[in-house]
Structure 1
Amino acid sequence: MDEILKESGSWLQNNQGLLIEYGVNIAAAILILFFGFIAAKMVAGGVSKVMSKKNLDKTIVDFVAGLVRYGIIAFVIIAALGRVGVQTASFVAIIGAAGLAIGLALQGSLSNFASGVLLILFRPFKAGDYVEIAGTAGSVDSIQIFSTVLTTPDNKVVVVPNSAVFGGNIVNYSRLPTRRVDMVIGVSYKADLKQTQDVLRKIVTAHEKVLKDPAPTIEVVALADSSVNFVVRPWVKTPDYWAVYFDLNKQIKMGLDEAGIEIPFPQMDVHLNKVA
């Protein structure tokens, strides 16, 4: 027993510097883990607060905050292992290979996720906007991690992948406070154009929801096959668009009838030549 104690004491004395070095490295690794976990929580919380102030969907906020937190934790763990002498190069290579395999298997989902992140950053629309995306028009219900959910005017729920949203044209009908109502009104070639223009202008300017500035445009736009076409383009507040559109269609028909101005049907002149 005395001999074992003597050898142990001798070993400790000979390796005192090595033990101190290992002790310092282990203490440093523990500190890296301790402060790293605190930093991960603080950064994730900061990201969550910033995104919440932008009124983003809670699902997206939680997902992105969690992604940031666990990304920092993974980096901290690798740094701590490297501090105690663990060779992390192969560990990182394994993680990279696994990430590549997962990325190839889930490339469609990752594309949707990346597009969702871009939608969050650039914000071409928000919940409640009326938009047309990927060939579908409707009100935005929510912007989720992998898809955007729309509700159509006839109360259908349409789920559009975010890659299709960001990869195509996005038409936002609600973003600006005013919109122009575009109408084409055809009248007979026998109609008095000056009288027709005056009737149309009177009807449009008298409407309570039509804006005075900018002034509505009412002009002849085409000499069509069966009619002389006027463009009627008043400006309205965006929420009033459809109410004004429907109301003006009715009032213009009634006003032209009252003025005796004909709205012609499509017609064709047929000339018969008598062959002897």
Structure 2
Amino acid sequence: MDTGRIATWMDQAQPILVAFGLKVVGAIAVFVVGRWLISLVTKLVGAAMTRQQLDPTVQRYLVSFITVALNIILVVAILGYFGVETTSFAALVAGAGVAIGAAWSGLLGNFAAGIFLLVLRPYQVADYVMIGGIEGTVLELGLFGTTLTTPDNVKTLVGNGKIMGSDIKNYSANPYRRVELVAQLAGSADLHKAIALLKQEVSKVANINTTPPVDVEILEFNEFGPKLAVRPHCHTEHYWQVYFDTNKTIADTLGAAGFPVATRPVKVYPI
């Protein structure tokens, strides 16, 4: 090939390549600055909502929505900078949205469920709940899912659609909750003495509510003897501390009082 012709093509292509390179650099600069501005705007909006004492659940939801919307606007602006017809792009996005919506109906269902959760407010940030079969403290109600920290300190995301389709238990909604425990006695044990002792000693466990008082009643009779239901009440924040301390108190109280250990009765078979 003629070297002169190659040189001519290079001379013609150089301005185009330079212009394209400048546009790429400009697009990168716009993206970086845009992302920084989006971060700044969301922080300012969050701070403004905090000053207005807006509910944390609503704050996180609105901030998530604003972030997504601004990122879409940023992408469209960059495409427009490259000369892409944004109206055609919008039509393309709308068409793609229909196709994606049909394929990902579950995602849109989570989005719709998130709106209902925000309106109905069955729980809010910092509540201790059981949702979608998962138990934990609410960190965030997002556009598509709710983030929890479980009791074993695992960050878990539960889809909003799954939450709306199942039972919601909010343990923080009421001022106290009941702790369910049992005490197994031997058949020869003094039942009334055991009930009186347990009521007295369990009432001394830290963070137990005085109203309603500790409830100790006969739950059932089994092959070992009577089984007692021991039910103290406490705030959700102290549930596990009360649970474990009460179990220890049951064991210590019955052991110190010399109650016989419940053992399986020996079955005698005729010869």
Instruction: Tell me whether the two structures share a fold, i.e. TM-score over 0.5.
Output: yes
State the identity %: 32
The reply to whether residue 119 of structure 1 matches residue 117 of structure 2 is yes
Shift of 1:144: 0.9
Indicate the residue corresponding to 1:270 in structure 2.
267
Indicate the residue corresponding to 2:238 in structure 1.
240
Indicate the residue corresponding to 2:203 in structure 1.
205
Deviation string, structure 1 residues 63-84 (Cα, Å, up to 9, x no partner) = 5569999xxxxxxxxxxxxxxx
Residues 152-191 of structure 1 mapped to structure 2, 5 A cutoff: 152-191=150-189
Shift of 1:217: 1.4
Counterpart code for 1:124: P
- Retained in 1: the 8 A contact 2:139–2:149? yes
Shift of 1:209: 2.4
Indicate the residue corresponding to 1:53 in structure 2.
54
Shift of 1:175: 2.2
Displaced runs of 4 or more, over 6 A? 48-52, 65-69, 94-99
Name the SS for the 1:201 alignment partner: helix
Q: Which runs of 5+ in 2 are unaligned?
A: 1-44, 71-91
Indicate the residue corresponding to 1:15 in structure 2.
none
Q: Which runs of 5+ in 1 are unaligned?
A: 1-44, 70-93
- Aligned equivalents of 1:211, 1:133: Cα separation in 2: 26
Higher deviation after alignment, 53-62 or 233-242: 53-62
Counterpart code for 1:252: I
- Aligned equivalents of 1:250, 1:102: Cα separation in 2: 56
Distance change >3 Å, CA 52–CA 195, structure 1 → 2: closer
TM-score with structure 1 setting the length: 0.65
Shift of 1:141: 1.6
Shift of 1:52: 7.2
Name the SS for the 1:206 alignment partner: coil
In angstroms, what is the RMSD of aligned CA positions?
3.0
Distance change >3 Å, CA 210–CA 59, structure 1 → 2: closer
Indicate the residue corresponding to 1:134 in structure 2.
132
Deviation string, structure 1 residues 84-140 (Cα, Å, up to 9, x no partner) = xxxxxxxxxx99987654532331111000011111111111122222222222221
Shift of 1:205: 2.3
- Retained in 2: the 8 A contact 1:57–1:142? no
Indicate the residue corresponding to 2:253 in structure 1.
255
Shift of 1:149: 1.3
Distance change >3 Å, CA 165–CA 263, structure 1 → 2: farther
Counterpart code for 1:253: A
- Aligned equivalents of 2:236, 2:261: Cα separation in 1: 29
- Retained in 2: the 8 A contact 1:59–1:145? no
Shift of 1:200: 0.7
Name the SS for the 2:125 alignment partner: coil
Name the SS for the 1:137 alignment partner: strand
- Aligned equivalents of 1:105, 1:241: Cα separation in 2: 43
Distance change >3 Å, CA 66–CA 273, structure 1 → 2: closer
> Which has the larger Rg?
1
- Aligned equivalents of 2:197, 2:226: Cα separation in 1: 15
Counterpart code for 1:244: V
- Retained in 2: the 8 A contact 1:183–1:232? yes
Distance change >3 Å, CA 57–CA 228, structure 1 → 2: same
- Retained in 2: the 8 A contact 1:130–1:174? yes
- Retained in 2: the 8 A contact 1:57–1:144? no
Matched residue count: 204
- Aligned equivalents of 1:49, 1:197: Cα separation in 2: 53
- Retained in 2: the 8 A contact 1:52–1:61? no
- Retained in 1: the 8 A contact 2:146–2:160? yes
Indicate the residue corresponding to 1:216 in structure 2.
214
Counterpart code for 1:227: G
- Aligned equivalents of 2:236, 2:176: Cα separation in 1: 5
